[in-house]
Amino acid sequence: MSAHAHADEHFAGSNKLFISVWVWLLVLTGIEVFLAYKPIPIHFMLTILMGLSIIKAALIVAYFMHLKFERLSLVLTIVPMLVACICLLFVFFPDSFRSSGLRYKFKEQPPVQPQSSENP
């Protein structure tokens, strides 16, 4: 019974659907490469690229990895805790920006002696 159930579940996605997902992934990749050569500020660019990547990841997980057709309890077990753990990693960024601030302290005010710029 369970083998049958699996076969039935797999047919939830047709080859036509998978090809259209593949085409979408290629289109989104093309957009990313196109954007690479546009004069967009880095923060804005990062936001757009991450947005596109999350859409691509969602397409892969939902259709290719078949998660859309799995039980909701499995999705709820896997996805929220992963997202939460990744978000927790953002805790390091304030320190990153702080150390950038330390390093570029004299940016607006070039050192008088050229040699002193070698000291970080």
Partner 1 sequence: MSTEARTATFTAADWSGGVLPYRVGHRKLGMWLFIVSDSLTFSALLMGYAYLRASNNWPTPFPFYPSIVFSTVMTFCLLSSSLTMVFGVSASSRGDKAGARKWILATIFFGVSFIVLHLIEWNHLISEGLRPFFLPEHWVKVFTTPDGIPPTPLFGATFFTITGLHMFHVASGAVYLGVVAARVKKLKHEDIEISGLYWHFVDLVWMFVFPLIYILSVDVGGHLAK
Residues at the interface with partner 1 (CB under 8 A)? 2-3, 5-13, 15, 18-19, 22, 25-26, 29, 32-33, 35-37, 39, 42, 45-46, 49-50, 52-53, 56-57, 60-61, 63-66, 69-74, 76-78, 81-82, 85-86, 89-90, 92-93, 95-97, 99-100, 103-104, 106-107, 110-111, 114, 117-118
Residues near 32 by Cβ (< 8 Å), separated by ≥ 6?
Answer: 49, 52
Query: How far apart are CB 100 and partner 1 at their closest, in Å?
Result: 4
d(CA 99, CA 104): 9
User: Residue 108 carries which DSSP code?
Assistant: T
Query: How far apart are CB 25 and partner 1 at their closest, in Å?
Result: 5
Q: Of all helices (H) and strands (E), which one includes residue 49?
A: helix 42-59
